[in-house]
Every structure is written in C-alpha cells, then in structure tokens.
Structure 1
Amino acid sequence: MSTLFIKNMVCSRCILVIQGELDKLGIDVKNIKLGEVTLARELTTEEREKLEETLVPLGFQVIDDRKSRIIEKIKNVIIDLVHHQDNGLRSNLSDVLSDKLNHDYNYLSNLFSEVEGTTIEKYFIAQKVEKVKELLVYDELSLSEIALRLNYSSVAYLSNQFKKVTGLTPSHFKQIREDKRKPLDKV
C-alpha cells in the first residue's frame, strides 16, 4: 500500500473528482479522504507523472515534502471542523490539532506561520467567516442560530469578528447580496 497527499482537496466534490481521475488512469484506490489517498500499490514514475499532469489543471497538487503535508493536514482538519461538522468544535482548536496530527501545537503553529505567512487562528477565523457568509446567503438560519452552530459565544462576537474580517456587518453583507440578486423573470 502507498499513500499520496494531495493539496487543495477541501470538500466531498474534490474527493469525487480525484476518485474519477484515478479511475480513468486505472489506479486502484483503497481509501480516499480530504488531502489523502491510499493506493493498493506504489505508483510507477510514469503513473505518478501522468497523475500530476492530470491533477494540476484541476487545481490539485501531489505533495512530497513532510512540512507541506502537515500544513495540508492542518487545513483539512480546520475545513472539516468548520464546514462539515455542525457544532463540531467543543474543545480548543489547539487540542484538536495536536490530537489529530500527533504533534505539539507550538510546533504546528510555528510551522504553519512560517510556511503560510499567517497564523492557524487567523486561518480558522477566515474559514468560519466564509461559513457564516455561506449560511447568510442560504438565508435559512438566523444570526443567533449561525452563532450557535459555529460555536460563537454570542451574536455580538460573531458580528464583530465578521466585520473585522470583511469590513461589513453580517446584515450589511446580506443586504448587499440581496441587492445584487435579480428576480428570475428579469434574468
């Protein structure tokens, strides 16, 4: 068995795309999850080159070095927590990352900052704000429900963080989005 680490896999659709491309190339996959593909066997040099040629135009990249793999795992854990688990984070992010990646949080934090030029916390906040935007656009939950779902201590805290990142209040963001939408009969 062999494991490939793939950069920019962020959702279940990415998994389907990667699975489809591997199937087209005749590569037997044992397991696939965000950022990681377990293969039945080692790829030949030719197969690996062909795979990389196929994935790069789709926005993916096979990661070889250890540091990049750790960074990608950090991102995938955060993306999974924010976008794929309702009310998912019940403990400190630092504890979750340390447990899932089997590394001291200080090491992970320093590595992430060194390579990405931002902190894990800022990346986490950016992901949460993107999720808030998504939920505001869907218009199915109140701001209180969104705050609860994303584990904000209060609506005020969510609003302040949202404004700090986007420059807009959540209600102003929602209003702008609605103003840009045209009724279906006007499209």
Structure 2
Amino acid sequence: MEITQLHIKNMVCPRCIMVVKQAFDQIGVEPLSVELGEVKLNDELTTEQQKRLDDLLQKNGFERIDDKKVRLQEKIKTLIIDTIHHKDPYDTHIQWSAFLADQLHYDYNYLSGLFSSMAGITLEQYIIRQKMEKVKEFLFYDELSVKEIAYKMGFSSVAHLSNQFKKVIGMSPTEFKKSIQNTQSRKSLDQII
C-alpha cells in the first residue's frame, strides 16, 4: 500500500481542514490525515474522484496543486500563517530564516528567491503583512494594549510595531482602533500578498 500525498492551496485554518474533509467524504474517500495544505491517502484517486474532488474544492475556494514550486510556495505560506495566527503562545524570538529552512529542508536563500519570484513580494514583506493582520485582530478584539501586542508579536518596541503597521495598513494602531467600525479592515488570510 502506497501513501499518496495531495497538496491543497488556500488551506489556512482549522475550518479549512473541516471543509476539505467534507469534500473527501462527498467523494467517498477516507483520508489518512488532513492537515493545513496537505492530505494523505491510502491510494491514488481515480480520474473520476479527482475530477469530483477538484470541483468540490474549487467551489469552496481551494485548489489541488501539482506543480512542485507552487506546492513549496504554499507550504511556506501555510507554515507562516500557522505560526503567526494559530500558535499560542507566539514565539516572540523566532528567527524566520532558520525556522523556515529547518521546517522545509531547503536553504533560506532558495526559499526566499522562489517565494519572491512567484508572489511578487519578498518573504519578509509577506511575514510582516501576516503579522499586521494578526495585530489588526488583536486591536479588533481590544484585549491587549499596543505594548502587549508589540511584545507578543516579537517587535522590539511599540514604535517599531507602529511604524510597520502604518507602512502596511496606512494608519497607526491607535487610528485603526478608532476606525474599527469599518468592516473592510480585516482580510482573509489566504488573500494577503
């Protein structure tokens, strides 16, 4: 029995895992495991099962990935999103270059170059943008001070966080808190580029 790995684009949260599991239920296939961006199966899918799965995934905003470089880019995104948005407590002293190289078993310069060429922004910019979305979430729920958010997100100071926030979001964290009534202020994590 050979284990088959499928790579699924845009899986960024536990709810995504649930939706992808439901898609496999609908085609009558029981996965060995479903994780962010990856599904393991006992056997290969038939052509008909692949077609039905692709249709179900697409209806829910997902896509099966066949290209090796695209899969690696999605793994990078998934790892960053999972680390920033779903790990608690957040490791404030993470060295992204070492972390990504260690987790993905590629040289960081290769990962960074691949990501930049495919996404149109640098890996560092992507990480900052993801962090800013998490900061927006903290500000939205108003449970932490800006100083606590800066510490939790690994910024050296409130000023450093505020400068990055203003550069990416276009306003200071304080201005953002005042404008929270704007429902367009938060983005879906898979839409950040």
Matched length: 180
Deviation at 1:89, TM superposition (A): 4.9
Partner in structure 2 of residue 115 of structure 1: 118
Determine helix, strand or coil for the equivalent of 1:5. strand
In structure 2, the residue matched to 1:23 is 25
Matched with 2:70 is 68
Give the secondary-structure state (helix, strand or coil) at the position aligned to 1:29: coil
Larger RCO (CA under 8 A, 6+ residues apart):
2
In structure 2, distance between residues paired with 1:53 and 1:20: 13
Query: Deviation above 3 Å: which 4+ runs of structure 1?
Result: none
Q: Is the 8 A contact 2:92 2:151 kept in 1?
A: no
**Contact kept in structure 1, 2:8 and 2:62, CA below 8 Å:** yes
Counting only pairs closer than 5 Å after superposition, residues 88-127 of structure 1 correspond to structure 2 as: 88-127=91-130
Scaled by the length of structure 2, the TM-score of the pair is 0.90
State the 1:112 CA deviation. 0.6
| Correspondence 1:172-187 to 2 at 5 A | 172-178=175-181
Counterpart AA for 1:132: V
The one-letter amino acid paired with 2:129 is A
Q: Displacement, 1:149?
A: 1.2
Partner residue in 1 for 2:190: none
Aligned to 1:184: none
Local SS of the residue matching 2:179 = helix
Q: Which residue of 2 aligns with 1:83?
A: 85
**Is the CA contact (8 Å cut-off) linking 1:87 and 1:148 kept in structure 2?**
no
Q: Distance in 1 between matches of 2:135 and 2:66?
A: 33
Alignment of 1:131-146 (within 5 A): 131-146=134-149
Could you give the per-residue CA deviations for residues 35-68 of structure 1, whole angstroms, max 9, x where no partner exists?
A: 0011121111111111001111211000001000
Q: Quick one: structure 1 residues 64 and 40, their matched pair in 2 at CA, closer, same or farther if it must change by over 3 Å?
A: same
Residue range with higher mean Cα deviation, 144-153 or 64-73: 144-153
How many angstroms apart in 2 are the aligned matches of 1:89 and 1:173?
23
Corresponding residue for residue 168 of structure 2: 165
Match of residue 8 from structure 1: 10
**Cα distance in 1 for residues equivalent to 2:91 and 2:9:** 23
Instruction: List per-residue Cα deviations over 1:107-160 (Å, max 9, x = no partner).
Output: 111111111111100000000000000110001111111111111111111011
Partner Cα distance (2:160, 2:80) in 1: 20
Query: Is 1:81–1:89's contact at 8 Å kept on the other side of the alignment?
Result: no
Distance (Å, rounded) in 2 between the aligned partners of 1:91 and 1:60: 29
The 2-side partners of 1:3 and 1:161 are apart by 38
Is 1:52 aligned to 2:54, yes or no? yes
Distance 1:11 1:37 in 2: 14
Does the aligned pair in 1 maintain the 2:11–2:62 contact within 8 Å?
Answer: yes
Show structure 1 runs of 5+ residues with no match: 182-187
Larger radius of gyration: 1
- Cα distance in 2 for partners of 1:163, 1:54 equals 39
